[in-house]
Amino acid sequence: MEQFLNHCARAVLEGDKPLATDLAARVLTERYDILQVIEQGFAMGIRQAGALWEKGEYFLPELAFSAEAMKAAMDVLNPELLERTDQDRSRGVVVIGTVQGDIHDIGKTLVATMLTANGYRVIDMGADTQHARFLEEATKHRADVLCLSALLTTTMAGQREIIELLKKQKRRDSIKVVIGGAPTSAQWAREIGADGYAENAVEAVHVVASLL
């Protein structure tokens, strides 16, 4: 099993989308533990890619390829995860996305993946999501939590604006808001009235759990 997990991590780290897809399919056909493979395999690969990027050993193209490989694997595994969480009653519904004007979604994708792996029903809005769409999807799916990502200082204000929209619609008390992204902080979360702040995907899972 350890060798298989290493293969999964390597496929993501090297941005090998076809291999990541094939390995994910094997998880289902050979009935491996899906959560274990995500956490100790594919997610390990994307974390390693992120670490290399922070060290300056990976550049944006390599990081993007790794993220695409991760997405490809999750596209195969997500239906089974969603079916499982539906049957077992998910721990909560989370709408997540990167705010309008920001096209970065690697960190957000990892957060969505880890939340799904931990039993939440996750609606991933992708990147550059209009403020109103967050609220529309939150209504449609009866979301418990909104997770708002911003990777640029110029788009951080979008997190505040979405919270203000919730207030105008008198829905602020019914939906928890968690923010994240490189330029954000716990202080910024307090300033804009968010319920929580997460520095990374693992912390995001703990923050969401503490709010529900």
pLDDT at position 36, please?
85
Backbone angles phi, psi at 91, to 5 degrees: -75, -10
What is the C-alpha separation between 65 and 60, in angstroms, rounded?
A: 9
What's the pTM? 0.69
Distance, CA of 208 to CA of 115 (rounded, Å): 9
Task: Let me know the angle formed at the C-alpha of 42 by 39 and 44, rounded to the nearest 5 degrees.
Answer: 65
**Is residue 187 classed as helix, strand or coil in its secondary structure?**
helix
H, E, C per residue of 50-118: HHHHHHCCCCHHHHHHHHHHHHHHHHHHHHHHHHHHHHCCCCCEEEEEEECCCCCCHHHHHHHHHHHHC
**Cβ neighbours of residue 116 closer than 8 Å, sequence gap 6 or more:** 74, 78, 81, 82, 85, 122
Per-residue pLDDT of the chain (212 residues; tens, 9 = 90+): 999 999 999 999 999 999 999 999 999 999 998 888 988 899 889 878 878 877 889 887 888 788 889 889 988 988 887 666 554 456 899 999 999 999 888 788 878 877 876 778 889 999 999 999 999 999 999 999 999 999 999 999 999 999 999 999 999 999 999 999 989 999 999 999 999 999 887 788 889 999 99
Instruction: Map residue 15 onto helix, strand or coil.
Output: coil
DSSP label of 38: I
Whole-number pLDDT of residue 73: 93
Query: What span, in angstroms and rounded, lies between the C-alpha atoms of 143 and 210?
Result: 16
